[in-house]
Amino acid sequence: MIVYDKKLLDNQILVDEAQTLYKGGFISKEQKKFVQNELPVFKSQENILVRIGFFLLSSLLYGSICGAISIFGISAENAYFQISFYIFAVVGFAGSEILAKQNFHNHGLDDAFILGTIMNIGIAIAITTEGYEAVIAFFMAVASICMFLRYLHLLSMLAFCLSVTAFLFYQMFEFGDIGKAILPFVAMIFAVFFYFLTKKMMYSLTKSYYLNGLLLANSFCLVLLYLSCNYLVVRELSAELLGAEVKPGTDIKFAFFFYAFTFIVPIVYLAQALRTKDRIMLWIGFLAIGFSIYTIRFYYAVLPVEVALTLGGLILFAIAYFSIRKLKEKESGLTFKPDRINHSDAFLNAEALVVASAFGMKPEVKPQDSPMEFGGGGFSGGGSSESF
Amino acid sequence: MKKFNEQATAGLYEKGLITENQFEEIKSYRSLNIFSINTELKLFLYLSVLLFTSGIGILIYENIDSIGHIAILSVLLVVIAVCFFYCFKNSKGFQKTETKFEHPVLEYLVLLANILTCIFIGYLQFQYKPFGEHYGLATLIPTTVSFFCAYYFDNRSVLTIAITGLAAYVGLSVTPQDLLHINDFYASQNLSYSAVMLGVLLILWTIYSNRIGLKTHFGLVFLTFALHIISISSISNLTGYVVTWMLFAVVLAASTYYFYKVSYAYKAMSLYVFMIVYGYIGANIVLFRIFGDVDFSDIWELLVLLLPAYFVGSIVMFVILIKNFHKKITA
């Protein structure tokens, strides 16, 4: 199923390992370079900026090829319109094949063709079935899982997870109001089931080619599980789908369960993440806690926003300060010392950028219009950092 | 998954690419089971500073007439003083090279103190107008303070605040989200000239700092700002009048050439990529303007057919450019 040469895939793993060992200071630069010269690998881009650039360029190329084909077909008008997107999908698939044969992998160029194929299949099915959502989601899921299995393409795995979830939702809608009412519970059971399934599959893998994809699906299940029974999501969705207005003094059905779920799940995630040393789950846990706080503030403005921000800042500072003090000298297990092997400091490099966006000073061209614009950019920064 | 990492290390060892000692060292390090939350905790500190200062900012804004001004000012002043006191006490003093605090929290205290100082001066100006109508001065003072903090405590985040302040002084908004939308380069040509001047100034300052060996690691921050300011202001002027667009085309070409050289010197991929992107966009606009007057209406189908070839050519060019750069910086 995998299009790439197995030898190259194995080499890639070894070279990546050599790279991490070099960064951790275990092997010398000469050794790393020797490994790189010794083992041929894929043409890939580690730098995300370059990858996005190539993705955009490649999308332009794909688009222009489709445009050139359309010139020939445009005279056939409606008949051409019916089949055009199937042709585009075939073009995308052919492009992905050619790039894969040239050993492009995670390069940006291949991303555009692979994702383009999936998207065009979706559009083509939509035209043929006149917008029947469940069928579209089904075919997109099939297309993306094929793309993932063939090209080991992680974004396709994400597309697969999303379209499978969409398929589940649209299928539930077919059952009418009952289906919509039990949707949260079905989604929850679905997420739990696939969480354990992917976990089991990861443990039974003998080769690590599909590992990252499974890891992604696994994390997706965690996110879906949290969102499926989050109070805010359930309440807003039920208002949207069932038209159930929540009158003052009343609440949605099983409100108690959803409230409990909103708070217990993030805590379970955090505890489990720290126990099993699972970084992805830790991050999902942090984000879930943030969203739970947002959920409460969405319905009950307990504190005015400025007090909440100030207090939140103080509490967060205290948590971080005492954790650092506690963990600073530990040598193993949970620690504050940077890990030599997995250090994820990409965010810290972007720190300055975030400061500039949130607190950069703005010129005061028209001071009479907005009195708060001058000098202390901190004021205007208040709004933009609320999104945290 | 740990077992695959261990497999990979074992693979390297079996191929004789790492020595036995190294293999043992790696194995014993892995068995320590380290789970470092260094990044996460630093992120928390950072978020807490952002939340706290935003909260204080809104608090002051909302209560500008209700709580006693003196009370607010004095509370702010006390907090700032406490922060700076700790920072100065624990800093090793000014050094020309890169320095770090012993304790990671202090870096964020500097940021906090700095943002609060900016808020303080802004509030002061709003309420008491000590600088009268000289709004420029009200911007310049926080900028000076920020530059001082950035250089004294060696703090990059503060440095970016200082640079945005400097740009604000000449009338530009260079915060990342505004750089593309707010500044109306098209409407006011003077703004574009001052933008280019500011960019050149930043470049000159970097060159001078390099020569005297003053905080050379700040160079990349200055150059990043310079690249974006110069390129965006010249590109938005490329659609303007005849004489100006040619002038700005020359400016863009010169800056692209300079940043091509400098990104090799700094081995900075981020500079290199954006340099290429801006150069490419600029070249396309220039091409479009040159051929803009030719009447293509008879052969437009041919043009559409040529388009894929044009993009293939561009892709090949970019691939080669990036590949050369990779070779140079890893060599």
The pLDDT-based confidence of A371 (bands split at 50, 70, 90) is very low
pLDDT of residue A214: 92
**Which residues on chain A are in Cβ contact (under 8 Å) with B46?**
351
Give how far A146 is from chain B: nearest CA, Å. Answer: 24
Among B33-37, B127-131, B269-273, which range has the highest average pLDDT? B269-273
Dist. CA B264–CA B154, nearest whole Å: 25
**Is the pLDDT reported for residue B55 higher than 70?**
yes
pLDDT of residue A348: 61
Residue B35 dihedral angles phi and psi, to the nearest 5°: -125, 95
Q: Which residue has the higher pLDDT, A163 or A103?
A: A163
> Which residue out of A379, A385, A387 would a mutagenesis test of the B interface target, given it has the greatest number of B Cβ atoms within 10 Å?
A379
**Of A3-7, A13-17, A346-350, A364-368, the least confident:** A364-368
Residue A36 dihedral angles phi and psi, to the nearest 5°: -65, -35
- The H-assigned helical ranges of chain B are 2-14, 20-31, 38-62, 69-90, 104-128, 135-153, 156-169, 189-212, 219-237, 242-266, 269-291, 300-330
Query: First CA to last CA across chain B, in angstroms?
Result: 32
**Which residues on chain B are in Cβ contact (under 8 Å) with A286?**
40
Torsion region of A267: left, alpha or beta (phi above 0 gives left; psi -120 to 50 gives alpha): alpha
Q: Which residue has the higher pLDDT, B94 or A343?
A: B94
Between helix B242-266 and helix B269-291 the angle, nearest 10°, is: 160
**Is the pLDDT reported for residue B264 higher than 70?**
yes
pLDDT of residue B34: 79
Dist. CA A160–CA A198, nearest whole Å: 14
Of residues A343, A203, A207, A26, the one with CA closest to residue B13: A26
**Of A125-134, A261-270, B84-93, the least confident:** B84-93
**Which residues on chain B are in Cβ contact (under 8 Å) with A46?**
none
Of residues A345, A343, A347, A364, the one with CA closest to residue A355: A347
pTM here? 0.83
Digit-coded pLDDT (tens) for B63-114:
776 767 777 778 888 989 998 898 888 887 788 777 777 777 888 888 899 8
Contacts 24+ apart (CB under 8 A), A368-374: A371/B126, A372/B61, A372/B122, A372/B126, A374/B122, A374/B125, A374/B126, A374/B135, A374/B138, A374/B139
Query: First CA to last CA across chain A, in angstroms?
Result: 42
pLDDT of residue A370: 33
Digit-coded pLDDT (tens) for A140-159:
999 999 999 999 899 999 99
Task: Inspect the interface and report whether the beta carbons of A17 and B11 lie closer than 8 Å.
Answer: yes
pLDDT of residue A44: 83
**Which residues on chain A are in Cβ contact (under 8 Å) with B161?**
355-356, 359-361, 377
Listed in order, strand segments (DSSP E) in chain A are: 334-335
Residue with tokens 């469940």: A134
**Is the pLDDT reported for residue A259 higher than 80?**
yes
pLDDT of residue B93: 77
Q: How far is CA B1 from the centre of its chain?
A: 35
Q: Quick check: A338 contacting B, CB < 8 Å?
A: yes
Dist. CA B92–CA B107, nearest whole Å: 13
**Is the pLDDT reported for residue B41 higher than 60?**
yes
Q: Which residue has the higher pLDDT, A203 or A76?
A: A203
pLDDT of residue B177: 64
pLDDT of residue B118: 86
Mean pLDDT computed over B33-39: 80
Task: Inspect the interface and report whether the beta carbons of B11 and A38 lie closer than 8 Å.
Answer: no
pLDDT of residue A383: 31
pLDDT of residue B184: 61
Please spell the DSSP secondary structure of A4-30, one letter per residue: S-HHHHHHHHHHHHHHHHHHTTSS-HH
Rounded (10°) CA dihedral A24, A25, A29, A35: -60
Mean pLDDT computed over A28-45: 82
The pLDDT-based confidence of B242 (bands split at 50, 70, 90) is low
Boundaries of every domain in chain B: 2-31, 37-169, 174-292, 295-331
> Which residue out of B35, B65, B72, B108 would a mutagenesis test of the A interface target, given it has the greatest number of A Cβ atoms within 10 Å?
B35
DSSP state of B293: T
Torsion region of A12: left, alpha or beta (phi above 0 gives left; psi -120 to 50 gives alpha): alpha
Residue with tokens 């077992």: B3
Q: Which residue has the higher pLDDT, A248 or A240?
A: A240
* Exposure letters A120-157 (e unless 16+ CB within 10 A, then b): bbbbbbbbbeeeeebebbbbbbbbbbbbbbbbbbebbb
The pLDDT-based confidence of A375 (bands split at 50, 70, 90) is very low
Dist. CA A349–CA A212, nearest whole Å: 24
Dist. CA B286–CA B273, nearest whole Å: 20
Dist. CA A293–CA A315, nearest whole Å: 14
Task: Inspect the interface and report whether the beta carbons of A31 and B54 lie closer than 8 Å.
Answer: no
pLDDT of residue A94: 94
The pLDDT-based confidence of A346 (bands split at 50, 70, 90) is low
Digit-coded pLDDT (tens) for B187-221:
567 788 888 899 999 999 999 998 988 888 888 88
Give how far A189 is from chain B: nearest CA, Å. Answer: 25
Give how far B164 is from chain A: nearest CA, Å. Answer: 5
Residues 29..48 of A with a Cβ closer than 8 Å to B: which? 31, 33-35, 38, 45, 47
Task: Inspect the interface and report whether the beta carbons of B307 and A282 lie closer than 8 Å.
Answer: no
Q: How far is CA B47 from the centre of its chain?
A: 19
